[in-house]
Amino acid sequence: MSDMVWGSKCRSKAIMLLFSMLIIGLLNVSAVEARIRRYKWEVNTEYKAPDCFRKLVITINGQTPGPTIRAQQHDTIIVEVTNNLFTENLAIHWHGIRQIGTPWFDGTEGVTQCPVLPGTTFTYQFVVDRPGTYLYHAHYGMQRENGLYGSIIVGLPEGESEPFTYDYDRNIILNDWYHNTTTDQAVGLASVPFRWIGEPQSLLIHGRGRFNCSSLAVPSSDSGLCNTSYSDCSPYRMIVVPGKTYRLRISSMTSLSALSFQIEGHNLTVVEADGHFVEPFVVQNLFIYSGETYSVLVTADQDPTRNYWMTSNIVSRLAPNTPPGQGVFVYYPNHVRRSPPTIPPAAPVWNDTRPRMQQSQAIKARQGYIITPPAVSDRVIVLLNTQNEINGRRRWSVNNVSFTHPKTPYLIALKENLTDAFDQTPPPNGYDDANYDIFVVQPNKNATSSNGIYRLDFNTTVDVILQNANTMNPNNSETHPWHLHGHDFWVLGYGEGKFDKFRDAGKYNLVNPIMKNTVPVHPYGWTALRFRADNPGAWAFHCHIESHFFMGMGVVFAEGIEKVGKLPSSIMGCGQSQGLYRP
Amino acid sequence: MSDMVWGSKCRSKAIMLLFSMLIIGLLNVSAVEARIRRYKWEVNTEYKAPDCFRKLVITINGQTPGPTIRAQQHDTIIVEVTNNLFTENLAIHWHGIRQIGTPWFDGTEGVTQCPVLPGTTFTYQFVVDRPGTYLYHAHYGMQRENGLYGSIIVGLPEGESEPFTYDYDRNIILNDWYHNTTTDQAVGLASVPFRWIGEPQSLLIHGRGRFNCSSLAVPSSDSGLCNTSYSDCSPYRMIVVPGKTYRLRISSMTSLSALSFQIEGHNLTVVEADGHFVEPFVVQNLFIYSGETYSVLVTADQDPTRNYWMTSNIVSRLAPNTPPGQGVFVYYPNHVRRSPPTIPPAAPVWNDTRPRMQQSQAIKARQGYIITPPAVSDRVIVLLNTQNEINGRRRWSVNNVSFTHPKTPYLIALKENLTDAFDQTPPPNGYDDANYDIFVVQPNKNATSSNGIYRLDFNTTVDVILQNANTMNPNNSETHPWHLHGHDFWVLGYGEGKFDKFRDAGKYNLVNPIMKNTVPVHPYGWTALRFRADNPGAWAFHCHIESHFFMGMGVVFAEGIEKVGKLPSSIMGCGQSQGLYRP
């Protein structure tokens, strides 16, 4: 009897929720007409329990994920970020926004700006010049995994529409989550001997996970430490109306994990990737790598009398102790708290690379929206991805060079011609591919470190071949999602084994390659990209796994520096930019 | 039998140890002739277990306390500090060094310099112009209590000697120690409602304490978390030769606690305070407040067949769960690990203010070393110490104004005449003493905040009256150790109750007042100081309790700015000093 009363109360609550969502939707539509969108963000450290385990996280205006930036193509975004952390700096990167004309607001500490000090406010200002699904996140140390991230959703201009239809637009960010602190992790990564942090404790769906508190090795004396009744960790629930089609934007902000995402029993039609329309294809599992964004269409076309699981699972790494991320796909008017009657769907086999490679290869530009790449490139850079040691310290390297940050950000050093600010010798253009066996642990583990960069001739076409290899463990090669700042690139091809410039380059897709800003290189495989060096600035290109970039897995491209406008003094203050003259 | 073998082995070890100490002593003597002493410090985060509980601490060259700086009067100290923290800045203050001519190297973030960014090296250079016992420590956020502190010991020039004799010179720093992180603490202090961190988990004697691991509420699953066999937490042992006299330098770096220190059964003759010779007096308990340094003479004149306890205890706060700090005073050739046969001596009654007030009043300048203060002052500033709220947030205030840091350090703002960098209205010169009852909780808890400062006319004589009061809890007034940067002051008097400018000022000790840089104001009491505003620069004056200064308990004095030399660009980079012209 009381159950029925409760159920009926909750139904009215669900109706009110739906109504509120409609109102919010209408408000968004009316707000879209403004051309300048101004945000004031307060960044704080506070306790949150996103997976029921309470820890200190970094929030924006009290939230993690932070507020979603919603804008329309060509809008100007102004974000005033106030750093209320106690002794930690920050920098925020606008992931997927090319920053054309504003390379100084890319938000990449050490590359485009000095870090933002505690107690100060930094104002980012940039144009969102393309519609699509983008991200923002900390780009300083490993702060991103402390919770400082969110979404940027850019709509089409009034009167324009996507080449696909849907009834509602929804957005979720997938993440993995650690219980120990970033400092703990960083100390382990930088230690000799290396101490690996292990796999994450949980997977979050839009900032909500569910750690099994009773699985804590010892029950905590602090009853507040882990509590599954915290509202922070009530599962993400997507309420859908039977028969309706949803555009679901899905992004990954994982610090480590490659993920498979599925909605039990529902097909996902992939229509967007990193802001570009995709020739539609259907998947049950969407594989998604850190830094990628997709839109999928999903129709609520299954038995409406029950709810369904939304799950994320780790692939490409063995992580048996990390429970899957779980949300609920709620068919209105079912009770939002009603669990699906089934067990959650099984995850793909973690170490089966083939379906992941197949999905990568299936992503093509949509007919009618193809941007044809230049037929040939002016330069080819091959980047061998390896795990190494430098003075006994574990590192990741590119062509056996492990990246280190200079004290003066590259953009400032280049623009102000501070030639002693970083190593002027560029890193190698490739590796000794004739004599390198990518399938074995290398007898010589050693690498060197450098802060040298690749200078690209302006307006040239550059190919990059990402070449994967064996790690320092036998029979092990990892998946690395590489993210390029300031550009989209065409994805010309993926392959297994060692890239062969004669055999493989001839098979490039020059007809309908997708453009992206983040792309995986699969275990023991290669990925070929092409981009135009047409955006004056200095741009990071790096593995989006937080610990890998921290350990040196990245490079920097610079182009058209002479075309970069006057740098704002707000990006300065570190290295040789303490005291530069700004009239 | 095996015990005897072990004992004899250990005796030879003890002899070798003594011999090594002699050699090190000789090396120090020979090194004393150099006039420039250069240090290279690497600041890192690493795991240490100073009280047997493993936690992340901040180290200098792998140590906490950091390396001791040993120099001779008039030497120049050059310390190149490299910040290897991941995302945290730092600044290091040279506590007790007046920085005459180098106000920019005082190391006070927000007052004399911008913080030192991760990955960068900052070079401090200053002269140690007076012999004595000094300190250095982080002066940024609450980093000091993470372990970033150490000693500076300045000897007399060759051929000069102190007005007292001793056979050996020893140095210890006393500290309190928390198990939670500084960020945890800071979040609690800055929260609404306020969350107090509680009393420290242990007391350290020269970086070593002994937490009772079995007192952890729940035994940890991590066997490495707390282990009383860690070498980090083997007790401090001071080996003494019977009949010899030791100069024991004792400093306090506590984040919170006022301490009583004693060596069981031994008299301590106080001969130095904050670098000034004291007219000798004998105590059994030495009361010492955060930021103070003392030298005591102690003669190994007790029964030499046993060892003795060295203990530190919390006074002025009720802290029944904080075990006393314990070291061992080892009479050579007793086994260093032999425990004293007695129970450790009892602590003074925590809330008996009288003996503490008596000790404060007993400290006078030594005959023959008296620096007579000016007979009158040009200005009197009364500073009422109160606990308040601002917008529901707990704060500490001075004259009902809670101090906040500006973005541009005062020294830079003043020297470069950046008048919009901070509030140009000075804080109040006093409080409404006629109508303020210091013995009760105030009906109005509210305070205001400001970053305004006191501008002192150069070369004038300034009196400061520190006036204590009731906190926000009934019948509670705390002890606050106030530390002045850039100067020593004469301690003209201490008293109980409300300072009366007619009655009390007439009783000032103008004959032989001690000079100090740190002085307590006792519960419900007052302390009167006098100093000459003769050191061009901007100087913090604040409660040395880490959380109290963090919560606003401080002021800044500025004087003779027009006489400050050219500021080094290394102190810049923040606030309005991003991009200042440095030719």
B445 shares a domain with B336? no
Instruction: Examine residue A517 and state whether it is found in any structural domain, yes or no.
Output: yes
Comparing A111-115, B441-445, B577-581, which segment has the lowest mean pLDDT? B577-581
Residue A88 has its nearest CB partner, among B88, B218, B574, at B88
Q: Decide if B181 and A182 are in contact by the 8 Å CB cutoff.
A: no
Q: For B363-410, write each residue's pLDDT tens digit.
A: 999 999 999 999 999 999 999 999 999 999 999 999 999 999 999 999
B224 band by pLDDT with thresholds 50, 70 and 90: confident
A194 shares a domain with A326? yes
Average pLDDT estimate for A70-85:
97
Q: Write down the pLDDT at residue B288.
A: 98
Interface test with chain B among A42, A393, A571, A578, by most B beta carbons within 10 Å: A578
Q: Decide if A89 and B117 are in contact by the 8 Å CB cutoff.
A: yes
Q: Write down the pLDDT at residue A6.
A: 37
Q: Write down the pLDDT at residue B578.
A: 86
Average pLDDT estimate for B1-15:
44
Q: For A502-528, write each residue's pLDDT tens digit.
A: 999 999 999 999 999 999 999 999 999
Residue B89 has its nearest CB partner, among A87, A142, A218, at A87
Distance of alpha carbon B327 from alpha carbon B42, whole angstroms: 29
Q: Decide if A581 and B578 are in contact by the 8 Å CB cutoff.
A: no
Interface test with chain A among B87, B549, B567, by most A beta carbons within 10 Å: B87
Q: Write down the pLDDT at residue B217.
A: 64
Residue A218 has its nearest CB partner, among B184, B186, B221, at B221
Q: Which two tokens stand for residue B168?
A: 């050996």
Interface test with chain B among A46, A48, A55, A86, by most B beta carbons within 10 Å: A86
Average pLDDT estimate for A389-402:
97
Q: For A202-248, write each residue's pLDDT tens digit.
A: 999 999 999 999 888 665 556 789 999 999 999 999 999 999 999 99
A457 shares a domain with A493? yes
Distance of alpha carbon B373 from alpha carbon B514, whole angstroms: 10
The answer to whether the CB of A387 falls within 8 A of the CB of A394 is yes
Q: Decide if A46 and B187 are in contact by the 8 Å CB cutoff.
A: yes
Q: Decide if A120 and B221 are in contact by the 8 Å CB cutoff.
A: no
B569 shares a domain with B463? yes
Is the pLDDT score of B353 beyond 70? Answer: yes
Beta strands in A317-404 (DSSP E): 325-331, 379-390, 393-398, 401-403
Distance of alpha carbon B293 from alpha carbon A561, whole angstroms: 55
Instruction: Examine residue A15 and state whether it is found in any structural domain, yes or no.
Output: no
Q: Write down the pLDDT at residue B582.
A: 47
A548 shares a domain with A427? yes
Chain B residues close to A573, C-beta within 8 Å: 114, 572-574, 577-579
The domain boundary residue, chosen from A302, A334, A362: A362
Instruction: Examine residue A20 and state whether it is found in any structural domain, yes or no.
Output: no
CA dihedral A496, A501, A503, A509 (to 10 degrees): 80
B225 shares a domain with B288? yes
Q: Decide if B578 and A577 are in contact by the 8 Å CB cutoff.
A: yes
Q: For a pLDDT cut of 70, what percent of chain A falls above it?
A: 92
B114 touches chain A (CB under 8 A): yes
Instruction: Examine residue A1 and state whether it is found in any structural domain, yes or no.
Output: no
Average pLDDT estimate for A82-109:
98
Q: For B413-425, write each residue's pLDDT tens digit.
A: 999 999 999 999 9
Q: Write down the pLDDT at residue A215.
A: 83
Q: Write down the pLDDT at residue B215.
A: 83
Half-sphere exposure (Cβ direction) of A89: Cα atoms closer than 13 Å = 30
Is the pLDDT score of B30 beyond 60? Answer: no
Computed over every residue of chain A, the mean pLDDT equals 93
The domain boundary residue, chosen from B362, B391, B418: B362
B192 touches chain A (CB under 8 A): no
Is the pLDDT score of A449 beyond 80? Answer: yes
Is the pLDDT score of B557 beyond 80? Answer: yes
**Phi and psi angles of residue A196, each rounded to the nearest 5 degrees, phi first:** -80, 140
Distance of alpha carbon B382 from alpha carbon B431, whole angstroms: 7
Is the pLDDT score of B317 beyond 50? Answer: yes
Residue A579 has its nearest CB partner, among B88, B405, B582, at B582
**Phi and psi angles of residue A345, each rounded to the nearest 5 degrees, phi first:** -60, 150
Q: Write down the pLDDT at residue A8.
A: 46
Residue B280 C-alpha from the chain's centroid = 22
A193 touches chain B (CB under 8 A): no
A180 touches chain B (CB under 8 A): no
Nearest-Cα distance to chain B for A583, in Å, is 8
Q: Count Cβ atoms below 10 Å from residue B416 Cβ, excluding itself.
A: 17
The ipTM value here is: 0.91
Q: For B512-522, write each residue's pLDDT tens digit.
A: 999 999 999 99
Q: For B277-315, write each residue's pLDDT tens digit.
A: 999 999 999 999 999 999 999 999 999 999 999 999 999
Tell me which residue range forms the domain holding B433. 379-577
Residue B221 has its nearest CB partner, among A115, A186, A217, at A217
Average pLDDT estimate for A25-42:
69
Is the pLDDT score of A257 beyond 90? Answer: yes
Distance of alpha carbon A383 from alpha carbon A381, whole angstroms: 6
CA dihedral B204, B208, B214, B216 (to 10 degrees): 50
Chain B residues close to A572, C-beta within 8 Å: 573, 578-579
Number of domains in chain A: 2
Q: Write down the pLDDT at residue A30.
A: 43
Nearest to B522 by CA among B429, B389, B385: B385
A389 shares a domain with A348? no
Instruction: Examine residue B582 and state whether it is found in any structural domain, yes or no.
Output: no
Q: Decide if A182 and B86 are in contact by the 8 Å CB cutoff.
A: yes
Is the pLDDT score of A10 beyond 50? Answer: no
Chain A to chain B Cβ contacts (< 8 Å): 125
A320 shares a domain with A212? yes
Strand partners, B297: B247, B269
Q: Return the residue matching tokens 């200098």.
A: B60
Instruction: Examine residue B291 and state whether it is found in any structural domain, yes or no.
Output: yes
CATH of the domain at B219: 2.60.40.420
A263 shares a domain with A209? yes
SS3 B505: helix
A441 band by pLDDT with thresholds 50, 70 and 90: very high
Is the pLDDT score of B479 beyond 80? Answer: yes
What's the CA angle centered on B510, arms B508 and B511, to 5 degrees? 130
Is the pLDDT score of A15 beyond 70? Answer: no
> Could you tell me how many helices (H) and strands (E) chain B has, helices first?
5, 32
B449 shares a domain with B546? yes
Q: Write down the pLDDT at residue B10.
A: 46
Q: For A354-386, write each residue's pLDDT tens digit.
A: 999 999 999 999 999 999 999 999 999 999 999
Distance of alpha carbon A7 from alpha carbon A12, whole angstroms: 9
Instruction: Examine residue B485 and state whether it is found in any structural domain, yes or no.
Output: yes
Q: Write down the pLDDT at residue A424.
A: 97
A39 band by pLDDT with thresholds 50, 70 and 90: very high
B436 shares a domain with B317? no
Q: Write down the pLDDT at residue A16.
A: 52
Q: Name the residue of chain A whose CA is nearest to B219's CA.
A: A218
Residue B218 has its nearest CB partner, among A119, A218, A569, at A218
Computed over every residue of chain B, the mean pLDDT equals 93
Chain B residues close to A90, C-beta within 8 Å: 87
B421 touches chain A (CB under 8 A): no
SS3 A283: strand
A392 shares a domain with A355? no
Note which residues in 448-467 of chain B have CB less than 8 A from chain A.
none
Instruction: Examine residue A250 and state whether it is found in any structural domain, yes or no.
Output: yes
Residue A573 has its nearest CB partner, among B218, B574, B582, at B574
Q: Decide if A87 and B88 are in contact by the 8 Å CB cutoff.
A: yes
Residue A87 has its nearest CB partner, among B141, B187, B221, at B141
Distance of alpha carbon A148 from alpha carbon A50, whole angstroms: 13
The domain boundary residue, chosen from B334, B362, B390: B362
Q: Write down the pLDDT at residue B402.
A: 98
Q: Write down the pLDDT at residue B399.
A: 98
